[in-house]
Amino acid sequence: MSESRDALYATPGKRNPTEAIAGRGMVTGTTGSAAVEAGVDMLRQGGSAADAVAATALAQICLAAGSWVSYAGIYTMVYFEASTGKLYNLNAGFNTIQAEDDPHGIPGPNLGDLGKGGLSAFQYEASGRTALTPGFMAGIEATHRRFGKLPLQAIFDPAIRYAEEGFAWTAGHAQQYAFRASVLSRLPHTREVFAKADGSTYVAGESFRQPALARTLRRAACEGIREYLYCGEWAQALVAAVSADGGKMTMADLRDYEVIWSEPTHASYHAYDIYSHGLPAAGGVCLSEAMNLAELAELSSKRRYSESPEALFWLAQIAKPAFVLGSAPIADAAGLQAAIRSLGIDLSLSSRLEKSTSRALWDAIKSGRLPGIGAPPAVPAHSDSVVAIDQWGNMAAVVHSINTVSWGSTGIFVEGVSIPDSAAFQQHAVAAAGSGRRLPDPTNPGLVLRNGRPVMAFGSIGAGLHIRTVGSLIAVLDFGLTPQQAINEPSIGCFEMGGIQRLTVGAREFPPEFLNAVRDLGQDVVESDPLRGYWIGIQIDPVTRELHGGAIRELAMGGRAVGY
């Protein structure tokens, strides 16, 4: 994008923050500047990239008051160990509930209203059956146990401090609370979390403290995460709270929970190796598949998507399989599954990692045989991402999520911890996964290597995380942009709810004539402020070995890249 267009279509002070450059270590996160500072402090203390991402993620949730991320959520990490050159994938996603025998009967939103953008879709009957077995804290424990250098207490200290001493309640917090006021006042324990001593609610600028959460975090750090949160008093309190609202969770669900260490997915892209979230998750598969398709489409021979309508058109096409094929079987709307089967291609997750499958998909895309309509509505979810590189060259990329909208619709809190209603949006996926099994997720944190040497760590969040990741990787790897320059490119998001034909882009970020040119090529485009993807990254300069980090500023409690 030229300087004049950049000034016209970017948001001053938000879309173009100063790029972070450092020599030893760096952390970047999608939200919570104070949380990112906490992660960098771990690096200064001699901690590893694992210590940094864990401390940042813990602090992000505290600073979010458990709204868009939760200690009862999920945690995904891809890690490069510099001393061995090995790569690791950690899956601490949700498990389905063992005793849930009717997944399709789990209460949820009105997806018809959701497709129309109706807020009523997010307000529905509270039910403990919407809770899933959480993996976030187990993921933190596994990360620290395998790669941590600092004591576990040090990793928890920043979050405990923010919970005890408080932080400024922002206008964004107040807006989210107002949206969920009736939900967050339903239960006595939750009312206590959000009420001041006189019973009134917080207003922007006041200091928000979470004493119950501080006690929970301190006990987890001192007594052990598994001992207290999965087998001890907190676990018992969670089961009781969920059961009181009709949930089927038992102590067996928590005691039996285990993280999954697996191989990251791998895609060779030009001279690079891209590693992302491994099986049984779907996010890494979709990313590897899209990068294979980008290579076949020769997108590197075109201009950047912000400069070429043709490039944006083809970027949209190679992103579509992730939405059409999905991460799990979907309801057969308008014969979609039959049309996909008629292609005669093995489209299992493992097969979609193969370049031969991508070539077959590319042929179907070019010939118009890949179904392009009928995808289910996108599932709204809130998340955070953290990326870190330490002084030894270890790289960590993390995405963690509450996987619901603003605390969810149950309002259940357990000793200061928000409990999401993540099954309310995923009944079909819960049924497909089976009882007590890991639920697939679309997150795609990743790492880039070249000839075995680390190049970049990245992560993304939002409903458009897939297409934004693909576009940003192409911008950095093919066109030489830094992570911050890639972030400053015009926003692109997922396909419009109710169908995948209309690509969403940031309102007023592309000139009208540019979007008309994309439409003339056959890709409908709609301008929209929500439903965008947000991407962050840290790149290692191949010559100077300096770290170049990029962050987002346009989200509530916008993120920051910090190095030392």
C-alpha to C-alpha distance for 215 and 134, rounded to whole angstroms: 19
- Cis check: omega of the bond before 280, within 30 degrees of 0: yes
DSSP state at residue 529: S
Beta strand spans in 119-204 (E) = 167-168
Instruction: Name every residue whose Cβ is closer than 8 Å to that of residue 478 and which is 6 or more positions away in sequence.
Output: 270, 299, 300
Instruction: Name every residue whose Cβ is closer than 8 Å to that of residue 308 and which is 6 or more positions away in sequence.
Output: 302
Q: Give me the sign of the Cα torsion angle 226, 231, 233, 235.
A: positive
Strands 260-262, 534-540: pairing is: unpaired
Report the 10 Å Cβ neighbour count for 152: 19
C-alpha to C-alpha distance for 215 and 210, rounded to whole angstroms: 9
C-alpha to C-alpha distance for 510 and 129, rounded to whole angstroms: 43
C-alpha to C-alpha distance for 69 and 408, rounded to whole angstroms: 11
Q: Could you report the average pLDDT of every consecutive run of 10 residues in the chain (564 residues)?
A: 29 54 93 94 98 98 96 98 97 97 88 49 80 98 98 98 96 90 93 90 94 98 98 98 97 98 96 94 92 92 92 89 62 57 85 91 78 40 88 97 91 97 91 94 94 96 88 95 93 67 86 93 82 87 93 71 89
pLDDT tens column, 144-194: 999 999 999 999 999 999 999 999 999 889 989 998 999 999 999 999 999
Report the 10 Å Cβ neighbour count for 502: 16
Q: Cβ(109)–Cβ(228) under 8 Å?
A: no
In which residue are the tokens 């049309």 written?
339
pLDDT of residue 503: 87
C-alpha to C-alpha distance for 460 and 383, rounded to whole angstroms: 9
Domain locations in the chain? Answer: 40-123+130-261+394-430, 263-379+446-563
Strands 453-461, 446-450: pairing is: antiparallel
C-alpha to C-alpha distance for 469 and 229, rounded to whole angstroms: 34
C-alpha to C-alpha distance for 349 and 535, rounded to whole angstroms: 24
pLDDT tens column, 455-483: 999 999 987 888 999 999 999 999 999 99
Distance of CA 122 to the CA centre of its chain: 20
For the entire predicted model, the pTM comes to: 0.90
Task: Give the residue from 528, 531, 534, 532 showing the smallest Cα distance to 483.
Answer: 534
pLDDT of residue 236: 98
Q: Cβ(515)–Cβ(525) under 8 Å?
A: yes
pLDDT of residue 1: 27
Q: Cβ(381)–Cβ(404) under 8 Å?
A: yes
pLDDT of residue 486: 94
What is the assigned CATH class of domain 263-379+446-563?
Answer: alpha beta
Exposure string for 297-325, b = 16+ CB within 10 A, e = fewer: bebeebebbbbbbebbbbbbbbbbbbbbb
